[in-house]
A and B are shown apart, each in its own frame.
Chain A
Amino acid sequence: MPNFQPNPEIIRSQKQDLFEGPDFYQIDDLLTEEHVLIRNTVRDWVKKEVSPIIEDCCQRNIFPNHIIKGMADVGAFGPQLSVEYGCGGLDYISYGLIMQEIERGDSGMRSTASVQGSLVMYPIHKFGSEAQKHKYLPKLAKGELMGCFGLTEPDHGSNPGGMVTNFKDAGDHVILNGAKMWISNSPFADIAVVWAKDEKGVVHGLIVERGMEGFTTPETHNKWSLRASATGELVFDNVKVPKENILPNVTGLKGPLTCLNSARYGISWGAIGAAMDCYDSARRYAKERHQFGRPIGGFQLQQKKLAEMLTEITKAQLVCWRLGNLMDQGKATPAQISLAKRNNVDMALHIAREARQIHGGMGITGEYPIMRHMMNLESVITYEGTHDIHLLILGMEITGENAFM
């Protein structure tokens, strides 16, 4: 169970978060009253609980575990899953808006929520037994249990099918061996949803619990990105996993890839959040900063940057709104999700770089959120399917030709 006490080491900034979300095409009119309430609620929560501490947490590489309970309260953990198991029962637009607002605060915070909701709760919800669902989901939704997702391995990232982590039948349990890498939440997670091959080479999902003998989670240090999020490895050295911890309702790579679709959908919204924060900060800075006797926002080159940022954010908002509706109707395809994730993260990273230039030297300091978002997005653009892999997914969709290998 995570420690909900505020970490006395974390310094709270007195600076007020003045963020105003751009809505140039009145996309709020496409949302329901409840969507707007959810979005504004999470925005208010981020302003109160995330913005004042996030810069210090990033600078000093501290995961603020005391905000897990707040995250759970605002519905960040599996809001789109069913009420029956203690989850939110909300739609995918709501889920997207929650991810957008949390990533407006910080991509690392959104990563924590994405992993918990889409990569841990979602597979248990979709592929788990009734006993597994009742045992884990209500506690995961409340943040009383935290989870992580083990798919990527040291030598198998874009090619998860090549994984070597495996398990052998040993009567009422299996023996799990292998290692997973680049795992968000691993250093503090209570459980891990791990994908591993059986003796026939078929991929299965297993729920591995902290405390099982031979299971360790060493932390990854010295990251330049997602510094407020905890990343680590999962190491399995002859771990005895009871057979009742195997997810019964899926085999093959379809299992982890289905989870990734859900998470990638959330990331495509999250990236808008990071982009909006950079844009909003740049917009305000351009009006306040004077050079040559006038605000720099009065110069054409700065206006071009701001105009293009707003254009790209507006396009991304429309893509996500439509994709959310397709998700709710059960019609969204993996390729459609790839398009949104690829486009929106790239757009956000580009906006972060342009916003950095508008801020000049101030943009590289912790006084403004720009460089933090930029460094975070350098991870986001390659995790959950790299920018290039999403292009190949789209390429295959268009041509029918597999260009992965």
Chain B
Amino acid sequence: MKILVCISNVPDTTTKVSFTDNNTKFNTAGVQYIINPYDELALTRALELTEKNGGEVTVINVGLVDTEANIRKALAIGANDAIRINANPEDGYFVAEQIAAAVKSEGYDVIFTGRESIDYNSGIVGGLLAEILNLPLINVVSKLEIEGGIVTADRDIDGGKETVKVATPCVISAQKELTEPRIPNMRGIMAARTKPLKVVEPSGSNALSNISAFEMPKPKGDCKYIDAANAGHLIDLLHNEAKVI
């Protein structure tokens, strides 16, 4: 079984977000980058599946050279090899086009993405990739098994879950409960030194969108305490001030 896991390089969840150039650029100064957590779950599940059923796991990333630290981490966690498409990931369409062009003739049985990346959260790469490659997509998958070329996946839907079966090849986007993330071990880190990391140049397609401005959410207001005897005032505040009822 050949599995591809698409990983993106995102700011650490504890990053203090700020912007530069008149709120048009994300300020990267001092920012630590991690593998997108949903992608890391996808990678872990891919490794569990190949450990059980045999096969190989490749990770792919669209990014410039500074993303290689996290690609190397993915190799340390256990991926067999890696591809980096040497381009700034401009938008979801661009990323999907680049990945599709790089892997369309490679014959992967399963292509994993995260349900979304935790930086721009567009959540569209998996869907676009499936469309471009003409493959079925199961998104927001919280449980996944593969048996004899048939994928059985639980996916989150409004108010519950549904179980979907599909034949490989297919695209899967990973949700939080898919598995537990795996911490690399020292042997994995040492092995990652010599695992292949292929760098390919981007193909012709362009991004379809660009960011014109960022805005920070309003700071949280102070907590107001209302006396229990004064419930009417609470309702008034919720209706007129917070505008939630």
Would you call A37 and B68 a contact (CB within 8 A)?
A: no
B69 at the interface (CB under 8 A from A): yes
- Whether A215 is near chain B, meaning CB under 8 Å from some CB there, is no
What does the 1/0 interface line of B115-143 toward A look like (CB < 8 Å)?
00000000000000000000000000000
Number of CB contacts from chain A to chain B under 8 A: 42
Knowing A41-B189, A88-B190, say if A36 contacts B183 (CB, 8 Å): no
B119 to chain A, nearest CB (A): 19
A75 is an interface residue with CB less than 8 A from chain B:
yes
B14 touches A37 (CB 8 A): no
Taking the complex as formed, is A96 at the interface, i.e. its CB lies under 8 A from any CB of chain B? no
Instruction: Tell me if A33 and B72 are in contact (CB < 8 A).
Output: yes
Report how far A36 CA is from B186 CA in the complex, Å.
13
Chain B residue at minimal CB-CB distance from A73: B185
Chain B residues within an 8 Å CB radius of A74: 183, 185-186
Number of interface residues of B (CB under 8 A): 15
Question: Which of A20, A26, A37 has the most C-beta atoms of chain B within 10 angstroms of its own C-beta?
Answer: A37
B193 lies within 8 A of chain A by Cβ:
yes
Q: Mark B179-201, 1 if CB is under 8 A from A, else 0.
A: 00001111101100100000000
Chain A proximity of B145: nearest CB distance (Å): 26
Question: Which residues in chain A, 154-175, are within 8 Å of chain B measured between CB atoms?
Answer: none
Q: Which of B30, B69, B186 contacts A88 (CB 8 A)?
A: B186
The interface size bin for chain A is 10 to 19
Q: Is A252 an interface residue (CB 8 A)?
A: no
Interface string of A1-25 (1 = CB under 8 A from B): 0000000000000000000100000
Q: How far is the CA of A73 from the CA of B190 in the complex (A)?
A: 12
Kindly list chain A residues whose C-beta atoms are within 8 Å of the C-beta of B185: 41, 73-75
* B189 partner, pick from A26, A34, A83, beta carbons under 8 A: A34
Shortest Cβ distance from A33 into B: residue = B69
- One digit per residue, 1 when the CB lies within 8 angstroms of any chain A CB and 0 when it does not, for chain B 9-35 equals 000001000000000000000100000
| Chain B residues whose C-beta falls within 8 Å of the C-beta of A88 in the assembled complex | 186, 190
| Contact residues in A for B190 (Cβ distance below 8 Å) | 83, 88-90
Mark contacts of A29-45 with chain B using CB atoms, 8 A cut-off: 1 yes-contact digit, 0 otherwise.
00001101110010011
Q: Which of chain B's residues 66-123 have a Cβ closer than 8 Å to chain A?
A: 68-69, 72-73, 76
Q: CB-CB < 8 A to A83: which residues of B?
A: 190
Q: A90 contacts which chain B residues (CB < 8 A)? A: 186, 190
Residues of A within 8 A of B76 (CB): 37, 41
Secondary structure of the A contact surface, majority rule: helix
Q: In this complex, what residue of A is CB-closest to B181?
A: A44
B72 touches A37 (CB 8 A): yes
Asked whether any CB of chain B lies closer than 8 Å to the CB of A273, the reply is: no
Shortest A98–chain B CB gap in Å is: 9
Does A79 lie at the interface of the complex (its beta carbon under 8 Å from any beta carbon of B)?
A: yes
Residues in B with CB closer than 8 Å to A75 are: 185-186, 189
Any B CB within 8 A of the CB of A48: yes
Closest-by-CB residue of B relative to A43 is B183
CB atoms of A48 and B186 under 8 A apart: no
Do A36 and B69 touch across chains, with their CB atoms under 8 A apart?
yes
* A window 28-83: CB within 8 A of B: 33-34, 36-38, 41, 44-45, 48, 73-75, 79, 83
Among A20, A26, A33, A38, contact of B186 (Cβ-Cβ < 8 Å): A38
Complex formed: what's the CA distance from A34 to B73 in Å?
Answer: 9
Nearest Cβ on chain B to A52's Cβ, whole angstroms = 14
Inter-subunit contact A38/B14 (CB<8 Å): no
Q: Are B183 and A44 in contact, with the CB atoms below 8 A?
A: yes
Closest Cβ neighbor of B76 among chain A residues: A37
Digitize B149-187: 1 where CB-to-A-CB distance is under 8 Å, 0 elsewhere.
000000000000000000000000000000000011111
8 Å CB contacts to B: which residues of A78-117?
Answer: 79, 83, 88-90
Residues of chain A contacted by B14 (CB below 8 angstroms): 20
* Bound-complex Cα distance A38 to B187 (A): 11
Query: What B residues does A41 contact at CB under 8 A?
Result: 76, 183-186, 189
Query: Whose C-beta in chain A lies nearest to the C-beta of B34?
Result: A40
Q: Flag if A38 contacts B189 (CB, 8 Å).
A: yes
- Say whether B183 contacts A37, CB under 8 Å: no
Query: How many angstroms from the CA of A303 to the CA of B189 in the assembled complex?
Result: 39
Collect the chain A residues with CB atoms within 8 Å of residue B73's CB. Answer: 37
Q: Which residues of B contact A48 (CB under 8 A)?
A: 183
A79-B186 in contact (CB<8A)? yes
- Most chain-B CB neighbours within 10 Å: which of A33, A41, A44? A41
Q: Which residues of B contact A44 (CB under 8 A)?
A: 183
Q: Which of B14, B73, B183, B186 has the most CB of A within 10 A?
A: B186
Q: List 6 A-B contacts (CB under 8 A).
A: A37-B189, A41-B76, A41-B189, A44-B183, A73-B185, A73-B186
- For the complex with contacts A36-B69, A37-B189, A73-B186, 10 further pairs of A-B residues with Cβ separation under 8 Å are A20-B14, A33-B72, A34-B72, A37-B69, A37-B76, A37-B184, A41-B183, A73-B185, A74-B186, A75-B186
9 closest Cβ contacts across the A-B interface?
A75-B186, A73-B185, A33-B69, A44-B183, A45-B183, A41-B184, A88-B186, A37-B73, A20-B14
